[in-house]
Structure 1
């Protein structure tokens, strides 16, 4: 009932108010500039709409620029927004990392104030994804110093191996801490890093099930939480296969081969967003500071 009332309110705002922003044709990477132009989230309770790669979020919260055990990098991108559950998960992870003696975590992109298509990502659209760099060698920095930081690449984007010592015990511990956060459903990491984790001795290996191999994650881990309560229009992902994921499904990634460039001349056209996202894009903004 709550979800229906919120959806109706958003729809009414869309129909009665003048359209301030209009979604524009997506570019080559699928991004839509209209969503990036919005600087604040919407008023009202949090509502996740659609999927991780085709959705949006109403009532998103902004993760503070720094807190116990973490600091956000590249704040100028305004991508430190997400569902309140994601915000709480990252804050809890920061505190656990601090208690474990790790340096401040470098939180990179979460989502835009209202989600939607986002440059440089195939997901991060509905407020349930966040990236954390694997770099763990920095103290708490001033905000302007975090704008130009460079990541630490553990391995090549399409290579099958990790140089000896490239993945440190602290980095492995960070991945384990993230995977044991109760609300985390997935962690995406480079296949060679997953293989390295599988080769380590762990008293409990159950958390490895949440760590899934995926290309393009050779300098960060991609955290994903599940659909939160109160968001009936959120679309769940398929459950992970049983087991620790260290068997045939992992080894199917090797040898890794960079795909050949597509010969198609047609630009990529993403699927249309859920209808409710049009109302989210144009809903009244939350009052800054609240």
Structure 2
């Protein structure tokens, strides 16, 4: 997340509370050409043309890292590209209990997004609804690979919602410039 929570300019509003983090899939060293992808921070592990994991980049360490994060009891869900979820479903073996936290979401082809539960004493923090039961490897996953239905695209421009009241308080405090540096 951004320092002090902060608003991402690219639609990452969920990072504002400090309960969300992006973990880049950088295993080993990266060449300059490997680092030059859509975000410059992680290896693209998904071939965007085939919508499948790039077997020349993906390795077991990627799966292990995501599995370890999912097994943490403080983690409520993890967002990955649908192709990564598919790969995890295909290779998980018998221990599939952690897969239900792994949720497909486009744009996560070089990193995964971790959402952490609200601390018990956080009065203004609201947990999201629990993830559905099951491993999430059935029809709900395969629906991500279907072509978009005609007219299903959003024609309304996205409107950035106002900051939550507590964020507005922080930003309007006299010392807020110290936090923004």
Q: Tell me the TM-score range normalised by the shorter chain.
A: 0.7 to 0.9
- Name which structure has the greater RCO, CA cutoff 8 Å, separation 6+: 1
In 2, are the aligned partners of 1:158 and 1:257 still within 8 Å (CA)?
no
2:166 paired with 1:276:
yes
* Separation in structure 2 between the aligned mates of residue 284 and residue 229 of structure 1, nearest angstrom: 29
Matched with 2:119 is: 228
Q: Secondary structure at the match of 1:252?
A: helix
Q: Distance in 2 between matches of 1:211 and 1:117?
A: 24
TM-aligned CA distance change 1:206 to 1:188, over 3 Å: same
Count of aligned residue pairs for this structure pair? 168
Q: Which runs of 5+ in 1 are unaligned?
A: 1-109, 140-147
In the alignment, the residues of structure 2 paired with residue 167 and residue 256 of structure 1 have an alpha-carbon distance, to the nearest angstrom, of: 25
Q: 1:127 maps to which residue?
A: 18
Q: Structure 1: which 4+ aligned runs deviate by more than 6 Å?
A: 258-261
Could you list the per-position Cα deviations for residues 198-227 of structure 1 after superposition, in whole angstroms to 9, with x for gaps in the alignment? 001434211111110000000001111011
Other-structure match for 1:219: 110
RMSD: 2.9
- Indicate the residue corresponding to 1:251 in structure 2: 142
Q: In the superposition, relative to structure 1, how do residues 275 and 163 fare at CA in structure 2: closer, same or farther (>3 Å)? A: closer
Structure 2: gaps spanning 5 or more residues = 31-38
Aligned to 2:66: 175
1:155 offset after TM fit, Å? 1.2
> Which of 70, 81, 84 is the matching residue for 1:190?
81
Q: Give TM-score scaled by structure 2 length.
A: 0.79
| Residues 85 and 104, structure 2, Cα contact 8 Å, conserved in 1 | yes
TM-superposed CA distance for 1:278, in Å, is: 1.8
1:158–1:256 CA contact under 8 A, matched in 2: no
Relative to 1, partners in 2 of residues 1:276 and 1:243: Cα closer, same or farther, differing over 3 Å? same
1:275–1:203 Cα change, 3 Å: same
Separation in structure 2 between the aligned mates of residue 164 and residue 283 of structure 1, nearest angstrom: 50
- Per-residue CA deviations over 1:22-76 (Å, capped at 9, x if unaligned) read xxxxxxxxxxxxxxxxxxxxxxxxxxxxxxxxxxxxxxxxxxxxxxxxxxxxxxx
d(CA) in 2 for partners of 1:285, 1:204: 49
TM-score (norm 1): 0.51
- Counterpart CA distance in 2 for 1:168 and 1:238 is 32
Shift of 1:277: 2.4
Q: What SS class does the counterpart of residue 8 from structure 2 fall into?
A: coil
Summarize the Cα distance change of 1:157–1:236 in structure 2 as closer, same or farther, 3 Å threshold.
Answer: farther
* Cα shift readout 1:85-104 (whole Å, capped 9, x = no counterpart): xxxxxxxxxxxxxxxxxxxx
Higher-Rg member (1/2):
1
